[in-house]
Structure 1
């Protein structure tokens, strides 16, 4: 009788565990190289009255290091090559690469270097760091959610908002929004 009650209690306890359990830092700890083939960096800029445009960067590189002893010492480094911007519209792509926006001829890289990682939930974190574009550096924050961790591969869904005026890219405002919405999938391979 007692064995049967204990068995039912064990089943009930298993059913009560959330579908996404906390990820042990020891399982995720390590250094990862971001794989551009399995990742994407997308953005959206709205337009007054509706519309706007979406784009993506085809070239980028980076690394993720998760510290087992102290998650706040974890690091994210990302370099984006703005000449690889693509919206599906050649005229807009050329304008974005020009000195009016990215100035990719004189500023060939956009860099993000994390300064702090704060775990906000079982699978989420707030990543704070310094974003540098067109020679200007400002603090920015992104939300990262762990999508998967298996066989030496880690995947995060990352979102955030950046004010483009801070970086001297405010051409077209207020018709086009000053806010750039980022939506990224970053997949890293341990190594």
Structure 2
């Protein structure tokens, strides 16, 4: 197992400027990174019968990535998303998503992901498993991570995964709207 691959695996929970993933060695990547809102994004899509569907993003989130150079399994990812920052480009839908029918932001102001394991899947890829908590419900979720680069104390990852809305009592509108939420995320972290 190459050290650069271990560097990828360390962040499986949920990307950066310049450099290539193959040039990153674990000894270079080891450390703690704060996720920067600049260069990071959390986007989602929910399919709909007959086409269309719903696309959106969260504008506010924070997190840390701690890459353990000695033991990749001890690396950690912590992400907090603020559902009040959800945006679809349609104010009526945004208000519905924030209501007690979906995110219930008045009573549940955060969605939290805490990693529990990291497993390498390829040269520059891994799967991060962790506990996702939303609306007071917690379930184990998996996300695929691809290291995109590292340069100047910053590291960049692409993260994707699918989550069932029903696990968090947010499945209003099914089966017309899919129970599956597809996430497409970019994370840039700065060492420090």
* TM-score of the two chains, using structure 2 as the length reference: 0.88
Tell me if the contact between 2:21 and 2:147 (Cα under 8 Å) persists in the aligned partners: no
Task: Measure, in 2, the Cα distance between the counterparts of 1:65 and 1:99.
Answer: 34
Q: Give the structure 1 partner of residue 93 of structure 2.
A: 92
Q: Give the structure 1 partner of residue 57 of structure 2.
A: 56
Tell me if the contact between 2:61 and 2:80 (Cα under 8 Å) persists in the aligned partners: yes
State the Cα distance separating 1:73 from its structure 2 match: 1.2
Q: Give the structure 2 partner of residue 157 of structure 1.
A: 158
Taking only aligned residues, the RMSD between alpha carbons, in angstroms, comes to 1.1
Instruction: Say which structure is richer in helix.
Output: 1
Secondary structure of the residue aligned to 1:39 is strand
Q: Does 1:125 align with 2:116?
A: no
Moved over 6 A (4+): none
RCO comparison, higher one (Cα < 8 Å, 6+): 2
Gaps of 5+ in 1: 1-18
Task: Measure, in 2, the Cα distance between the counterparts of 1:104 and 1:20.
Answer: 37
Q: Give the structure 2 partner of residue 13 of structure 1.
A: none
State the Cα distance separating 1:113 from its structure 2 match: 0.2
Q: Give the structure 1 partner of residue 110 of structure 2.
A: 109
* TM-score of the two chains, using structure 1 as the length reference: 0.88
Q: Deviations over 1:29-73 (max 9, x none)?
A: 110000012200000000001110110000000000111011111
Q: Deviations over 1:125-153 (max 9, x none)?
A: 10000000000000000001001111100
Q: Give the structure 2 partner of residue 175 of structure 1.
A: 176
Gaps of 5+ in 2: 1-19
State the Cα distance separating 1:22 from its structure 2 match: 6.3
Q: Structure 1 pair 20/101, CA: closer, same or farther in 2 (3 Å)?
A: closer
Tell me if the contact between 2:21 and 2:149 (Cα under 8 Å) persists in the aligned partners: no
State the Cα distance separating 1:20 from its structure 2 match: 5.5
The structure having more radius of gyration, on CA atoms, is 1
Tell me if the contact between 1:23 and 1:122 (Cα under 8 Å) persists in the aligned partners: no
